[in-house]
A and B are shown apart, each in its own frame.
Chain A
Amino acid sequence: MKCNKSKALQPIDLRPLALAALIAALFWCAQAFGATPSRNLSENGLALRGYDPVAYFVVGRAERGDAAFAATYEGATYHFASAARREAFLLEPRLYVPSYGGFCAYGVAVGQKFDGDPEVFLLVEGKLYLQLDRATQALWKADLDKNIAIADRTWPVIAKIPAAVLND
């Protein structure tokens, strides 16, 4: 996904120097923080596109985090809506991080890594699952238990494989 995006930007590169420098910095960040293919991160190593992972569990809906309350866990940066949520996250991060590294849960079930939309989520037995979009989520929900079981088995296999390799 990341690679595809950057490919799309590359061909016409007439941006001013500052912008080029910024992109270079973003790439560097991506390398430094989350080059691991097992997490769905933005180019700057941000997980959940900056959404607050705790909000899903506390208020039951997607909420944007604030860069002022950030925490890093396993190479991924998370933003939180408040300092209290950040504290809660840091106490037990494993409870809050999304399943399958934040990739689309249905995609993982069929052996692919698609970007999980933080707005399209489902909490199942205390675990956070993201989906590509609502169409996919409808498909996934239709056979929830089976899909989760298959995805749980598939994930360890594809976790280390870059998305581009899987998708092609």
Chain B
Amino acid sequence: MTNPPASRPGHQPVLKSISTRYLTRFVPIIVVVFAVLIAIYGTITYRESKADLAAKLDTLLARQSLLLGEAVANRRDDRIGLLVAQTIADRDVATIAVLDKNGNVLNKYGSIPDRADALVGRMAINHMSADSYERVGTLIVSMSDGPAIASLVNSLVYISLLGLALIGSAAVAAHLVLRATVSQPLDMMLNAIHIQRDSGARIPIDWESQDQIGQVVAAYNALQSRQTKTEADLTRLRDKAERAHQSKSDFVARVIDEIRTPLNSIVGFSEIVSTRRFGPDTIQRYISYAGNINQAARHLLFLIENVLELTRLEGGEVEPVFVPTPVVSILRRAEANAASLPRNRDVRLRVTGGKSDRPLNVDEGLMVSLLGKLLENALRHTPEGGKVELSYEVRPSGTACFTVTDPGPGMPEEEAQRLLIPFAASREFEDRGFHGSGLGLPICKILAELHGGAIEITNLAAGGFAVSVLLPPSRTIEIEAKPSDASARGDEKPRTDHHAAGAPVQHLNGAG
């Protein structure tokens, strides 16, 4: 509510108060309007007083000429003098002269004025004789507009002072009223907004009025209370959801843990039995059953580990650490891991590309496990003597692309897309979906998405099946950039990377 005294032009102070801004516009306008009105009034009054003077001169001339008639005719100088004195008593009369019919001055007060002036009048002095009238002389009177103008100026000054006093009091009143009705609630509101911005506390504004300001304040209060309620609801819901998710994750992890321990003993003991580790045994059928148990238990273990991994990935428990990594290193590690994977006889793995490519800003461990899952699947389904290929290329769009190709049987495109959804693939193709777990590709999809990328599945024209991991161009690192810088940038802006990933993901969806 700081209200600097009326602003001086040229200073240009910052006017923060509404009433000051209002008055700095209002007062000059009113003063100008008032000045114009005063000028108009003054002009009209001046004209009127001039016209009044002219009319008065006419009457005066007529009367005095009539009164002077007999005196001039009879040359009664004392009477002429008396009438002249009577006339000049009027302060508006400047000069008077009485002439006889020959133009000789009989009596006068002041000099005889020119005829040209508007406020000078001449009148014949007639006298009636016995049967007619005759002209006996001339009366010349001039008026002065000095007193009239002086009184006009006086009244204008009084009116101006009154008007200025009125404007001043109106300005003060307007300022007070504005402060009471507008500035005060606005300041309270502004204060509340500042407090909310600084500390987040929502303070209701205590202002009661029915005008627009009051309505705005009421609306603001309503908005704030609704906002407070919404925020409380949101917090409650989020807490609830988090609790629910946490308990679900905990439950799953716990169950899996509980299952895994007995499963491990099943696997271990059945393996001991089937491999006849403690010496040869006789009944071949038991041995083969134990082998079956071992195989099933292994599958179950694999399935459970996949579920656990998927749960961890979906729960956001895995935080990727992006580090610039040479492509070759990723390919080598994936190849090395693939060496221990089960495969049919004479199935060969060929790794191509990546030698001269730019390093990628990725989490190496996650990428290797991603490629490992793809390779495992490919190797498992490649018939004897087949060839699995892992290749790396950078597409013209800048998208980095790891592709695993195998010559195994393909599947319809829409079914391939369903492989990306946990347990969504139909049973017919389930075997294709990673050891029957139905979880391998969904895990790969999540891993790719963690890098802002996507998975692309294509049936090759020559027969066979290609799964590509697409990484957005932002994952490739500029050669001239120092690795440390690049890693810092990568860590700082994982979000932008995810945004950039939008294009390949959509591309994938479009292809599907």
Q: Which residues of A contact B (CB under 8 A)?
A: 1, 4-5, 7-9, 11-12, 14-15, 104, 106-107, 109-112, 114-115, 132-133, 135-136, 139, 147, 150, 153-154, 166-168
Contact = CB atoms under 8 A, between A and B. Distances in A.
B278 interface: no
Contacts of A9: 47, 51, 54
Interface residues of B, number: 29
B127 interface: yes
B78 to A, nearest CB: 18
Contacts of B135: 111
Interface in B106-130: 118-119, 121-124, 126-128
A8 B51 contact: yes
B66 A136 contact: yes
A114 B58 CA distance: 9
B126 A106 contact: no
Contacts of B164: none
B55 A5 contact: yes
Given A112-B126, A167-B123, A5 B51 contact: yes
Nearest to A114: B62
Interface string B56-89: 0011011101110100000000000000000000
A154 to B, nearest CB: 6
Contacts of B61: 167
A106 B133 contact: no
Given A4-B121, A112-B124, A153-B132, A107 B50 contact: no
B62 A104 contact: yes
A154 B132 contact: yes
Contacts of A7: 118
Q: Is the interface of B mostly helix, strand, loop or mixed?
A: helix
B131 interface: yes
A110 B66 contact: yes
A110 B135 CA distance: 9
B141 to A, nearest CB: 12
B63 A135 contact: yes
Given A104-B62, A136-B66, A110 B122 contact: no
B59 A132 contact: yes
Contact of B124 (A12, A104, A167): A167
A7 B69 CA distance: 26
A107 B153 CA distance: 38
Nearest to B86: A135
A110 B47 contact: no
Contacts of B53: 8
A133 B63 contact: yes
A166 to B, nearest CB: 7
A161 to B, nearest CB: 12
Would you list the 8 A-B pairs with minimal beta carbon distance, nearest first? A8-B54, A111-B133, A110-B126, A114-B62, A110-B133, A111-B126, A110-B128, A132-B62
Contacts of B124: 112, 166-168
A4 B122 contact: no
Contacts of A133: 59, 63
Interface string B455-470: 0000000000000000
14 contacts: A5-B54, A5-B55, A8-B118, A14-B43, A104-B66, A110-B66, A112-B62, A112-B65, A112-B66, A112-B126, A136-B67, A139-B66, A139-B67, A154-B128
A9 B122 CA distance: 17
A133 B122 CA distance: 19
A61 to B, nearest CB: 22
A106 B67 CA distance: 10
B133 A107 contact: no
A12 B53 CA distance: 15
A115 B58 contact: yes
B118 A107 contact: no
A154 B130 CA distance: 12
A5 B50 CA distance: 10
A104 B127 CA distance: 15
B135 to A, nearest CB: 8
B82 to A, nearest CB: 13
A150 B50 contact: no
A5 B69 CA distance: 24
Contacts of B43: 14
A150 B62 contact: no
Contacts of B69: 110
